[in-house]
């Protein structure tokens, strides 16, 4: 019974979040298009789009899986000082 409730709750939560996910994904893609052919880090995308960093990373990974963006290199993170991926539209 608990599994059914958990699945139903998860499905309901997903349906509630879906418009936000789609909207954020479109904004992420547009942010990358605006700077093409240069790219942006997830941190830069989050700042431009106005969403949490974990949302920006998730949307970038979804767009990457759909083969609509590529990683073109690495750049030092302003937050952590380590190198992180730079995402861009494919050539």
Coil, strand or helix: which one is 81?
coil
Q: How far apart are CA 85 and CA 13, in angstroms?
A: 30
Residue of 47 and 15 predicted with greater confidence? 47
Q: How far apart are CA 47 and CA 32, in angstroms?
A: 12
pTM, entire model: 0.76
Chain segment 38-79, per-residue pLDDT in tens: 999 999 999 999 999 999 999 999 999 999 999 999 999 988
Residue 16 is predicted with a pLDDT of 74
DSSP 8-state secondary structure symbol assigned to residue 36:
T
Residue 91 is predicted with a pLDDT of 85
**Average pLDDT over the chain, rounded to an integer:** 88
Q: Is 70 left (phi over 0), alpha (psi -120 to 50) or beta?
A: beta
Q: Is the pLDDT of residue 90 over 90?
A: yes
């Amino acid at each position: 019974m608990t599994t059914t409730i958990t699945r139903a709750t998860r499905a309901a939560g997903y349906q509630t979040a879906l418009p936000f996910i789609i909207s954020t994904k479109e904004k992420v893609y547009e942010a990358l298009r605006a700077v093409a052919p240069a790219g942006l880090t997830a941190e830069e995308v989050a700042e431009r789009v106005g969403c949490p960093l974990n949302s920006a990373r998730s949307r970038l990974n979804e767009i990457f899986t759909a083969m609509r963006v590529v990683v073109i290199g690495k750049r030092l993170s302003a937050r952590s000082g380590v190198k992180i991926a730079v995402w861009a539209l494919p050539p």
